[in-house]
Structure 1
Amino acid sequence: MKPKVLYVCSEVFPLLKTGGLADVSAGLPPALTALGADVRLLLPAFPRVVEGVTPEGPTLLVPPGGSPGLPAGVGPQATSAHGPTPWLRAGRITESGTPVWLLHAPGLYERGGNPYLDPSGQPWPDSAEQFAWLGWAAALLGTGLHAAWLPDIVHGHDWHTGLAFAYLRELARTAEHRPATVFTVHNLAYQGVFNAGLRPRLGLPDGLFHLQGLEFHGQISFMKAGLKYSDAITTVSPTYAREITGAEQGCGLDGVLRQRQAHLHGILNGVDDAVWNPQTDPLVQPGFDAGHLDGKARAKARLQQRMGLEPRADALLFSVVSRLTEQKGLHLLPAVVDELVQRGGQLAVLGSGDAAIERALRACAQRHPAQVALTVGYDEALAHTVIAGADVILLPSRFEPCGLTQLYGLRYGTLPLVRAVGGLADTVVDCSLENLDDGSASGFVFRDLDVPGLLSALRRAFALRRRPVEWRAVQRHGMSLRFGWERAAADYLRVYTAVLPSPGGP
């Protein structure tokens, strides 16, 4: 089976990245291609994306809903505020050669900074239109806008693509070609919920606005549209797939997910070995591997120097590379810093987010100069420096659909300290006595989202470090683990096969 896959997303590394979605969009399509799929990305034409794409191939107009040949009232309505009709431009990502369609919509995407939030941290006022047009373009491509390439699968990622599945449902009533559909949830907490008064502008028929449709507490939910109208739903780890069918992690959509549980699949994300490999990483040289860790010791010294920490080879160096939010459990971190330092540890934090957490961590750094360092913001090169140089990476998350940072830590011999949720539970094995004995231990795992739980895991890290032979064994085991995209791609191909019509079938 060699399906044609239209892969719809809002960001891709290295062109535009706000989180793990961009890493997935960089790693999964090439892995699918390597297994024989014909994959083309569809992305909004944000400036940083346009800069990284070489135009190649046709330009297509994207007619608005209600145009001749399209079902009346379906799809976004063109408005004078957004200028001419949107269009699609074919091309390839310059660095990787991955084929893409870029969606240009004057007035919607030509803006710098964060693609989702304005400079004040609020959603852009036209977010609904931005991503309705992305969904509409996906639906039109899926049903034959470019007759020379008809996708077998439309695969949308997160709420930004949710309306694609509602539009496809309506277009399929009259279209000659109807693709199979797969919707991947990367984080159910972000749902794309908008005022119901936008329905006419978004071209959403009244027949879709009900409890069993995309209505959500009197509003429109892009996420719910993807969950209700796709042929299959995937999410980014097996444990998260189970968690989101319950009230605690279901974010108000657990009932929908229970209804569709037979079509829900948990597929663990992968790691791009071309980007995250301690032997070849250009941002971490000299390189190292499990059998030759001199380079890691040098990476630790570089990290201490870079972040103004005391140059102590014997310090147990903890790290954070994350959004500084309660979702990531980082509201707990300031309460354990004093003990961490008293035990001889250091802490390097790279991230930004909740102002109160930032203030608390800044106060910790002032209280413990040269032992605690905070860099507010995100810097890809510094992220590699932190993950390579630290001894332990902290992910005490309230919930974590998959998590990639712990996988990067394992690859670089930086033992993850995690809470047992989502993908963290699927990828990190606690350093309990029995797991140390059978060689399966790869990090430190705690269960209760509270300070005592986090402290207990920190103390186990210090205890293991006092046993250098066992520490090195756990480190080597973690570095030997592989979470490659080829495994995930094979799982996605199985999902594609399940939703495609049988040969010779209807």
Structure 2
Amino acid sequence: MKILFVASEAHPFIKTGGLGDVIGALPLSLKNLSNDVRVIIPNYKDIKEEIKSNLKYIDNFRVNVGWRNQYCGIFEYDYEGVKFYLIDNEYYFKRGGLYGYYDDGEKFAFFSRAVLEFLKHIQWTPDILHCNDWQTAMVPVLHKLEYIKEEKFRNIKTVLSIHNLFFKGMFSPQVLPELFGYDYEPFYNRSLEHNGAISFLKGGINYCDKVLTVSKTYAEEIKTPEYGEGLDGLLKHREYLLEGIVNGIDYKEYDPETDKYINFNYSFETIVNKELNKELLQKELNLTVNKDIPMIGLVSRLTHQKGCDLIIKVLDELLKEEVQVVILGTGDYIYEESFKSFKNKFKDKISVNIQFSNDLAHKIYAASDMFLMPSLFEPCGLGQLIALRYGSIPIVRETGGLKDTITPYNEYDESGNGFSFRNYSSEELLMISRYAINIFKDKNRWNKIIKSAMSSDNSWEKSAKEYMRVYNEI
């Protein structure tokens, strides 16, 4: 099958979060299933220099953005056997960062049309155009309203993946004539109208052939007012096209047996090396060096969405237990300062690292006994999947991908790969954390949970097979 991924970022070129990780890993796994998979992204100024210097020029043409006639260059780069195309335009992309500019609507209107125009310039037609989030959600709209009339585009099917529904691509209704050359019909018939504005994401949901999101539970949650961001009615109406597929993680990057960032590599058979990593990290972070004290890790953006308010409410009580807490991340000032304040009271029991450090993150996954992730909402979640791989037992709230990937421990049949609680409640978080600490004391029980965690399959290969099923269906 021929598949073209359309996205605003991709690892290892440039990324701001989980979307970049998905677009870096999923196409490679689909290629390994004997598909012709390609990716198209903008040629940003901040793309890694070693990639920039090896780009191969392919073609250039003009793209209409409303009344504007803009230059569009195409470069090509081979990444592990997957062809990446980069759309070049200095006016839109020769600036720092990716998002947050006053003309983001115009920039991604250009990008969306450039993707479809580009297909006219190569002797290759995809079966599937797989778009991602609001930045590319107008591709299905343009395809259905215009391009499908041409022979080359007639049999292409469009898929839209929602990685985070919070960002809807909201702009003035004037963008329809100004950027797309349309009249106001898509606004008045409400296919793009949302709260008096134009929503690129709503347009994509209405015009694509399949809507995907990054976990089965999140696909259900976004059909409710609590999680639907005002689009729950539409998603409920289109639920026959809506499905969730859990993300995977890169098993080469996150592998305790080969991880170059950790001091002692290990598998379940050599789990004693995990304790050696723990003792080294305790020493490095000035915590009490004792392998029998349970260590709880937190590697996260420090925001309300990630449950930081719940953690702050329970930390005082939790740190009265025989336990250590290691925090790594940056985020909202109020949470950064609140976490720092615990250091004075619990000197050798908590380590607060307000920074981004890939090196320290890997060490925390490898050293910690438990991993805290009590999110308010979590479309998929990456932290709990990495934690499972490293035998760091997740403590999560049952939402989105956390609910799909963490099976609560059952002390009667000793099944499960983590601990979970249902309501967004500090009392429930404290209770389940104490329960996990208590189970930790029984090494036989704890090792069974570690074995279950480390044998969980969260590879991209597993997810890729699900994507192939969806592509074949449409």
- TM-score, reference length from structure 1: 0.88
Q: Within 5 Å, which residues of 2 pair with 1:119-198?
A: 123-141=100-118, 144-178=119-153, 179-198=156-175
Which sits farther off after the overlay, 350-359 or 296-305? Answer: 296-305
Q: Within 5 Å, which residues of 2 pair with 1:221-300?
A: 221-300=199-278
**Which residue matches 2:316?**
338
**Which residue matches 2:472?**
497
Q: State how far apart, in whole Å, the 2-side matches of 1:307 and 1:164 are.
A: 49
Instruction: Give the unaligned 5+ runs of structure 2.
Output: none
**Which residue matches 1:6?**
4
Instruction: Give 1:85 deviation, angstroms.
Output: 1.3
**Which residue matches 1:115?**
98
**Which residue matches 1:60?**
60
**Which residue matches 2:186?**
208
Counterpart contact for 1:56–1:92, Cα < 8 Å: no
Deviations 1:152-211 (A, max 9, x none): 111011111111111112222532222110001111112221233333332152222235
Instruction: Give the unaligned 5+ runs of structure 1.
Output: 66-74, 117-122, 500-506
Aligned length: 469
Q: State how far apart, in whole Å, the 2-side matches of 1:493 and 1:382 are.
A: 36
Q: Equivalent residue of 1:325, what SS? A: coil
**Which residue matches 2:68?**
78
Instruction: Give 1:268 deviation, angstroms.
Output: 1.1
Q: State how far apart, in whole Å, the 2-side matches of 1:162 and 1:482 are.
A: 31
Which sits farther off after the overlay, 188-197 or 47-56? Answer: 47-56
- Label 1:452 to 1:77 Cα distance change in 2 as closer, same or farther (>3 A): farther
What RMSD, in angstroms, separates the aligned Cα atoms of the two structures?
Answer: 1.9
Q: State how far apart, in whole Å, the 2-side matches of 1:275 and 1:228 are.
A: 37
- In the alignment, which of 453, 458, 461 is matched to residue 486 of structure 1? 461
Deviations 1:375-420 (A, max 9, x none): 2232222221221111111110111111111011001000000000
Instruction: Give 1:228 deviation, angstroms.
Output: 0.9
**Which residue matches 1:318?**
296
Q: State how far apart, in whole Å, the 2-side matches of 1:465 and 1:299 are.
A: 18
- Label 1:432 to 1:152 Cα distance change in 2 as closer, same or farther (>3 A): same
Q: State how far apart, in whole Å, the 1-side matches of 2:94 and 2:216 are.
A: 37
**Which residue matches 1:431?**
409
Counterpart contact for 1:57–1:91, Cα < 8 Å: no
Q: Within 5 Å, which residues of 2 pair with 1:333-412?
A: 333-412=311-390
Counterpart contact for 1:285–1:295, Cα < 8 Å: no
Q: Equivalent residue of 1:461, what SS? A: helix
Counterpart contact for 1:304–1:310, Cα < 8 Å: yes
Q: Equivalent residue of 1:362, what SS? A: helix
Counterpart contact for 1:271–1:485, Cα < 8 Å: yes
- TM-score, reference length from structure 2: 0.94
**Which residue matches 2:83?**
99
Q: State how far apart, in whole Å, the 2-side matches of 1:496 and 1:454 are.
A: 39
Residue type matched to 2:328 in 1? L
Deviations 1:59-85 (A, max 9, x none): 232x222xxxxxxxxx45537xxxx61
Q: Equivalent residue of 1:393, what SS? A: strand
Residue type matched to 1:140 in 2? E
Counterpart contact for 1:76–1:133, Cα < 8 Å: no
**Which residue matches 1:40?**
38
Instruction: Give 1:97 deviation, angstroms.
Output: 4.2
* Stretches of 4+ aligned residues off by more than 4 angstroms: none
Residue type matched to 1:463 in 2? N
Q: Equivalent residue of 2:74, what SS? A: strand
